[in-house]
């Protein structure tokens, strides 16, 4: 088997068949399971600094975490431990959130987490 990788596609070539991203073999299932956010904490300091800490897992692996303050992207991380400090100039009420991605593009967000919603009303 020969594996050729390009910018747009990955092709697996064998003597039996060619597989492209648009036509996966029937015996291979796509990952449709989103990551799980086990814990999310965001402490807001008086000077507008937001300290994020997040614990997440996935059946294949977490590949990216995006951090937001008031729905504005303030940072990203690709490796655990997922701890991040954002320095904002926002005064008053601050709403921190995060999105967690896996390699298949599945996403989990703290905005969808019922416990997070209860604690930040």
State residue 119 phi and psi, 5-degree precision. -75, -20
Q: Is the pTM of this model over 0.85?
A: no
Q: pLDDT tens for the chain, 121 residues: list them.
A: 444 444 443 433 344 444 455 655 566 678 889 999 999 988 888 888 899 999 999 998 999 999 999 899 999 999 999 999 998 887 677 889 999 999 999 999 997 654 444 444 4
Domains of the chain: 36-119 (2.60.40.10)
Q: Is the dihedral of CA 74, 107, 70, 56 positive or negative?
A: negative
């Amino acid at each position: 088997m020969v594996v050729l990788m390009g910018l747009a596609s990955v092709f697996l070539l064998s003597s039996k068949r060619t597989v492209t991203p648009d036509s996966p073999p029937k015996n291979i299932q796509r990952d449709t399971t989103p990551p799980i956010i086990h814990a999310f904490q965001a402490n807001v300091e008086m000077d507008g600094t937001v300290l994020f800490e997040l614990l997440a897992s996935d059946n294949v692996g977490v590949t990216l975490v995006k951090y937001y303050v008031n729905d504005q992207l303030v940072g990203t991380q690709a490796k655990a431990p997922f701890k991040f400090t954002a320095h904002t100039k926002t005064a008053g009420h601050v709403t921190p959130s995060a999105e967690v991605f896996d390699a298949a593009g599945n996403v989990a967000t703290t905005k969808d987490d019922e416990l997070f919603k209860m604690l930040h009303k």
